[in-house]
Amino acid sequence: MEEIIQKKVDQWLNGSFDENTKSIIRELQHTNENELTESFYKELEFGTGGLRGIMGVGTNRVNKYTIGIATQGFANYLIQFFPNQQVRVAIAYDCRNNSRFFAEVTANVMAANGIQVYLFESLRPTPELSFTIRHLKCQGGVVCTASHNPKEYNGYKAYFSDGGQLVPPHDINVMSEVQKISSIEEVKWAGGEDNIHLIGHDMDKAYISMVKGLSVYPDVIEAQKELKIVYTPIHGTGITLVPEVLKQFGFVNVHLVEEQINPDGNFPTVVYPNPEESEAMSLGLKKASSIDADILLGTDPDADRVGVGVKDNYGNWILLNGNQTAVLAFDYMIEARKSKGLSRPNDMVVKTIVTTDMIDVIAAKNDINCYNVLTGFKWIAELIKEKEETENYIIGGEESYGLMIGNQLRDKDAVSAVALLCEMAAYEKQAGKSLFSKLIELYKEYGLFREHLISITKKGRDGQEQIAAMMQRFRLNPPKTLGGVEVVGIYDYEKQEAKDLKSGQLSVIELPQSNVLQFILVDGSKISCRPSGTEPKIKFYFSVQRPLNTIEEFDANFNALGMHIDKIIEELNP
């Protein structure tokens, strides 16, 4: 074992850590040195989603001590950044194993530092935490969750006073404060219990009222209140609010996927509790088909991502991808606001750089500014803060099943997205159409875009090195063609540099540094390479496009674009 790793192990064995932790370390020393190395070779870092990792002992695992140290560092920073103020922090947690325990550890450390803590009495969706920070005028917040990761994971999303996750310089400064803590003795573990206040029902009422206010066509819902909706929380927190929100909107025909309604951190019916995975939505699809539903919706464990199932033109149940859902939602909010006289000259929408460019086209044709930001809703929140004095935010989204409608919170919100998607389905049904037929109409109007995502998992220290080597290969030897089509542009967000390969001209990318590469083809196709900030994965995003002259040509053109993506993947050889 490397000397630096052995030193960390010895610190834990000889320090004031509990005996159970020490006994697990000793057992790993004798039975699984590789796992011990993985557990200690680095410290967990804040990524695009905060602190996230596998639960267990060690500096590279989520446990009482890594949570406590992170919280002490965060508390130190909040107290420094807001001098002469009574710092207030809201804390929530999801259904995962140990989430409540980690939330209580976080609350105790914050409170022991003299911070007023508003702790949810039971599990709640992440978006409600973002709303709560703003509603209670807190300086920060934390939700203990690992979002859609497998059951062995947990995590810690840290939020600032705007209700958004930490962005530079705050994330870097918090990590700096964390790194200053050399011993768990420096963590204030207890002593401020009187500073902890439980919250729950009243906050739910305020949040639900906010979501209900997003409805654009309550009259349509009244006419279509029997819309047949199937919903699954996939064992997560969505069950606490989604059914009630749908009831408040006026929908009376909601069917829950019974096998998945109970919150359970073991996620017994799925491998990955992620609505992006067809396997996680399979029970919902089965129920939707059996009762001939109008729409299926599923949310991940902390209810910030939403998956959507609809019937295609042949009556088959399919899952929309995140880009398709975003296109429908963006178009609906733009068109509905116009129709109701709610639109403003300074309206804006926001998406991420790996989300379909079809949204840019829709926005441009409606004379609305569309901004592109780095992956992660914290960047959408940051842009809203930057523009809120001059522009009016309508909706934001990303391809990974995230939407944020309205400006009263600062994170993706599957609870409000479920409600608005059901309203959209009701609106189309009132017009004698389905969401799928509406999507094809949009393809005809704005161009047919098809996207595909490949995620390659590379776990552990070796995996991290392999991902770095892959990105280095693409930077040093970028492809000249992909799928037989010429590459005409390269966007390197780490260098903050865009290069036109035809002219050789360089231009500056006006976004923060990020380890992302994009290849632009002469036919408008775009291929993005991005290591995940929250998972041991590297992701490849493929986006291709062509005109759609008639609705009848949809199948043939969609299939042709799929074959084009296959050729690009073959030549890219990720």
Radius of gyration of the chain (CA): 24
Looking at residue 551, the DSSP 8-state letter turns out to be G
Using DSSP, state whether 209 is helix, strand or coil: helix
Residue in 130, 147, 215, 528 annotated catalytic:
147
Q: Which residue has the tokens 């103020």?
A: 85
E strand spans, 524-564: 526-531, 537-546
Cα–Cα distance measured from residue 223 to residue 108, given in angstroms and rounded to the nearest whole number: 49
Cα–Cα distance measured from residue 49 to residue 76, given in angstroms and rounded to the nearest whole number: 20
Cis bond before residue 169 (omega within 30° of 0): yes
Largest CA distance in the chain: 72
Q: How far is CA 415 from the centre of its chain?
A: 13
Pairing of strands 392-398, 347-352: parallel
- Determine contact, residues 401/301, Cβ cutoff 8 Å: no
Looking at residue 517, the DSSP 8-state letter turns out to be E
161 in catalytic set: no
Cα torsion angle, 103, 104, 105, 110, sign: positive
- Determine contact, residues 156/62, Cβ cutoff 8 Å: yes
E strand spans, 240-302: 254-256, 295-299
> Annotated active-site positions, please?
147
